[in-house]
Amino acid sequence: MSEKKILVVEDEVKILEVVTSLLESRGYQVIQAVDGKEALVLFERENISLVLLDLMLPDISGEEVCHKIRGKSRVPIIMLTAKAEEEHLLNGLHIGADDYITKPFSLRELAARIEVILRRVSGELKPLYQSNYFEKGELVIDVEANILKKRGQQIKLTRSEWNLLLAFIKYPNKVFTRDELIQIALGEEYGGYDRTIDSHIKNLRQKIEDVPKSPAYIVTVHGKGYKFGGV
Ligand code: CA
């Protein structure tokens, strides 16, 4: 059985209950929220695998909740909308929802959509290292101890370089955009030109690549960004 936690945000108690019992019967653990504020608090506290988010909530709108979650997480979000709200749908997808489903919906369809998205995400974002230790070729990364070694020699990284390296090894199949890498390396508040990230990448390559000009670990994906090539 799956141990995945799904956050269901819905102010209509009847829908909340029906969806909860459906998901629990499929082996998911359900965390319930009846408004946006509660949803954001619970999202912070729990390790959520997917969010099912009603668009019309009594306090902050589902759109805003979606936007706030997206500001800090790539967790899959499925929006629940009423028929009359369909013009919001494009907006919903624009603000970063992965999918939407229109009420009234069939429970079977809802369960199927959730399964598809969770399967897709676990394929895309499969962490490369199972523990806090990673070894590839001549690189050894001890995540917990903050130690990087190459050919047995310890290499010192700056905080930004370390953050970048961890993101790359954690999600080796993902192509990171410059914007994403800036957030990872420097934090959201950074407002600089996005090519700044290229110099961090360049420095990181100098430290870990055999031939920095022909990198094997931090690979450029033209027109998109960078990905980890050490898989
Ligand atoms: Ca509602």
| Pairing, β 50-54 against β 77-82 | parallel
H or E segment to which residue 94 belongs: helix 87-94
| Gap between the Cα atoms of 181 and 93, Å rounded | 22
Two tokens, residue 13: 């108690």
pLDDT score recorded for residue 84:
67
CA Rg, the chain, in Å? Answer: 20
Please tell me the distance between residue 18's alpha carbon and the centre of ligand 1 in angstroms.
Answer: 14
pLDDT score recorded for residue 111:
93
Please tell me the distance between residue 217's alpha carbon and the centre of ligand 1 in angstroms.
Answer: 47
Please tell me the distance between residue 30's alpha carbon and the centre of ligand 1 in angstroms.
Answer: 18
Please tell me the distance between residue 84's alpha carbon and the centre of ligand 1 in angstroms.
Answer: 12
| Gap between the Cα atoms of 144 and 17, Å rounded | 41
Q: What angle do CA 83, 88, 89 make, to 5 degrees?
A: 75
Please tell me the distance between residue 16's alpha carbon and the centre of ligand 1 in angstroms.
Answer: 10
Whether the CB-CB separation of 216 and 229 falls below 8 Å is answered with yes
Please tell me the distance between residue 67's alpha carbon and the centre of ligand 1 in angstroms.
Answer: 17
Two tokens, residue 100: 């939407």
Please tell me the distance between residue 6's alpha carbon and the centre of ligand 1 in angstroms.
Answer: 18
At 80, is the secondary structure helix, strand, or coil? Answer: strand
Q: Which of 150, 176, 143, 181 is nearest to 164 (CA)?
A: 181
pLDDT score recorded for residue 135:
76
The sheet carrying 29-33 orders its strands as: 29-33, 5-9, 50-54, 77-82, 99-103
Q: What is the pTM of this model?
A: 0.55
Whether the CB-CB separation of 177 and 225 falls below 8 Å is answered with yes
| Gap between the Cα atoms of 154 and 184, Å rounded | 23
State the alpha helices, DSSP H only, in 155-229.
159-170, 178-186, 196-208
Two tokens, residue 227: 């990905």
Residues of the chain with pLDDT below 50 are 1-2, 130
Whether the CB-CB separation of 162 and 145 falls below 8 Å is answered with no
HSE, CB side, 13 Å, CA atoms: give it for residue 59: 11
Please tell me the distance between residue 126's alpha carbon and the centre of ligand 1 in angstroms.
Answer: 33
pLDDT score recorded for residue 191:
58
pLDDT score recorded for residue 186:
75
